[in-house]
Structure 1
Amino acid sequence: MNVNFNKRDPLYEQVVRHFKEEIAAGTLAPGQEVPSRRELANQLKINPNTAQRAYKKMEEQGLISTKSNSPSKITEDQTVLGAIQTELLEEAIFSFISAIRPIRVPLDKVIGLIKKTYASGEVSEKGE
């Protein structure tokens, strides 16, 4: 497991987001076991308390479940799984709209360019 941490957001929130992205992408499947908190801390080179906090947050959100001494597993709740993808999409759209709104591009032009770019698959990060 590899996470590129930024310096703005708390580490445990970045771990939770990483899990959400992996679930939405299908890399982590419903019912799949996840590493123990200690294993995750070792893999990501983070404090075990940070891993514990991330797992607690994911349990509160219903992303993972832990039964007694069994390993934690990705939820199989389809409502939660669908909400993850919607949440990530809404965050991306909000960020996108916030970035382009100041240049006052007509909505139909924005939608047309999105459709064209999405269909072409030619999306890359600027500056890479």
Structure 2
Amino acid sequence: MELKFNNRDPVYRQVIQYFKIQIAKGTLEPGEEIPSRRELANKLKINPNTAQRAYKEMEEEGLIFTEGNLPSRVTKDKQVLRAVREELIMEATETFIQTMHAINVSLDEVVQRVTDNYQSHLEEGEKDDRS
């Protein structure tokens, strides 16, 4: 579990964002068991109360669920999983658009550069697959 914390955002929010990204990428599968709060705190070297707060919020958002004394698991709710992915896409898009707007890049140039760059990444991935 690799997570580099920044000094801007509360640690528990960064933990939640990490889990969202892992869920959206498919690294964490629906129904998959996640570390206990204590395990997470030890792995990330954070206060156990911070881990508890992150898990509490993720449960409230429906990202994870805990039944009785069993380990917490990633939700199986497809609607929640789609919403997580959509949220991450919208956040990344908004940041990108704000940056492009701030440096006065035209829509045509943005579209062309994104298209070219995306295609380049696809071609690189194909090369890697053939290696």
- Kept in 1, the 8 Å contact 2:100–2:110? The answer is no
> Does residue 1:31 correspond to 2:31, yes or no?
yes
Comparing both structures, which one devotes a greater share of its residues to helix? 2
Tell me how far 1:103 sits from its aligned partner.
2.6
> Does residue 1:121 correspond to 2:121, yes or no?
yes
For this pair of structures, how many residues does the alignment match? 122
Q: What corresponds to 2:98 in structure 1?
A: 98
Q: Which runs of 5+ in 2 are unaligned?
A: 123-131
Partners of 2:111 and 2:92 in 1: CA distance: 15
1:8-23 pair list within 5 angstroms: 8-23=8-23
* TM-score, scaled to structure 1: 0.92
Partners of 2:81 and 2:5 in 1: CA distance: 24
1:47-126 pair list within 5 angstroms: 47-121=47-121
Partner-residue secondary structure (3-state), 1:27:
coil
Tell me how far 1:108 sits from its aligned partner.
2.0
Question: Which residue identity lines up with residue 107 of structure 1 in the other structure?
Answer: L
Give the fraction of aligned pairs with identical amino acids, expressed as a percent.
56
After superposition, the C-alpha distances for 1:73-104 in whole angstroms (9 at most, x for unaligned) are 00011111011111011111111111110232
Partners of 1:35 and 1:109 in 2: CA distance: 44
Q: Which runs of 5+ in 1 are unaligned?
A: 123-128
**Residues 45-54 or 110-119, more deviating:** 110-119
Partner-residue secondary structure (3-state), 1:46:
coil
**Residues 25-34 or 98-107, more deviating:** 98-107
Q: Over the residues paired in the alignment, what is the CA RMSD in angstroms?
A: 1.1
Q: What corresponds to 2:129 in structure 1?
A: none
Partners of 2:59 and 2:119 in 1: CA distance: 36
Partners of 2:83 and 2:75 in 1: CA distance: 12
Question: Which residue identity lines up with residue 72 of structure 1 in the other structure?
Answer: S
Partner-residue secondary structure (3-state), 2:13:
helix
* TM-score, scaled to structure 2: 0.90
Following TM superposition, the consecutive aligned residue runs of length 4 or more in structure 1 with deviations greater than 4 angstroms are none
Tell me how far 1:63 sits from its aligned partner.
0.3
